[in-house]
Amino acid sequence: CAACHDPAEVAKSTADRGRKNPHISPHWGTEVPCWVCHKEHAKDENYCLICHTW
Ligand code: HEC
Ligand code: HEC
Ligand code: HEC
């Protein structure tokens, strides 16, 4: 994914939306593999919400 989407740029694009940014966290920075949340042939899911209730 990173060949086309720079993780730092993706994190910047979803900052300041009035909710927690899934693309950068105090736990793993920008290092969570994209496919943990984005699935090609299934609904996306927000891994952060396994533990958080935002
Ligand atoms: C060959 C280049 C390329 C690769 C590789 C690529 N993408 Fe994309 N992706 C794009 C382009 C171009 C767009 C549409 C323009 C944009 O939103 O930046 C896009 C859009 C998206 C979107 C937004 C879709 C929407 O509904 O708004 C997501 C999420 C995404 N890509 C995730 C991924 C993930 C996850 C991977 C790896 C499994 C990946 N991309 C690999 C080029 C690529
Ligand atoms: C922890 C879960 C999670 C991970 C990991 C993740 N994403 Fe996302 N992604 C989301 C969520 C949730 C949204 C919707 C954000 C919003 O609407 O505020 C999103 C939105 C996007 C978008 C659309 C951005 C826009 O401007 O609307 C793109 C592109 C994208 N992700 C690409 C990626 C790529 C590339 C990676 C890996 C570097 C990645 N994501 C990793 C959860 C994740
Ligand atoms: C395995 C459980 C777990 C997952 C998954 C998880 N977190 Fe957390 N997170 C915690 C715990 C525990 C704390 C510290 C207690 C607290 O402040 O809630 C924390 C604290 C935080 C904080 C600082 C406190 C706050 O609420 O502002 C942020 C920001 C955060 N996490 C973001 C994320 C993001 C973004 C993701 C997804 C990429 C994520 N977390 C995924 C468990 C998790």
Going residue by residue through the chain (54 aa), what tens digit of pLDDT does each one get? 999 999 999 999 999 888 899 999 999 999 999 999 999 899 999 999 999 998
Model pLDDT, residue 14: 94
User: Whole-angstrom Cα distance, residue 1 to residue 23?
Assistant: 13
Model pLDDT, residue 17: 85
Model pLDDT, residue 10: 96
Q: Ligand 2 centroid vs 32 CA: distance in angstroms? A: 11
The length of the chain is: 54
- CA of 25, nearest ligand number: 3
* Structure-token match 């891994």, residue found: 47
**Closest CA to ligand 3's atom 1:** 51
The atom of ligand 1 lying closest to the CA of 40 is: 38
- CA of 17, nearest ligand number: 2
Model pLDDT, residue 18: 81
Q: Ligand 3 centroid vs 23 CA: distance in angstroms? A: 12
**Sign of the four-CA dihedral 45, 32, 10, 21:** positive
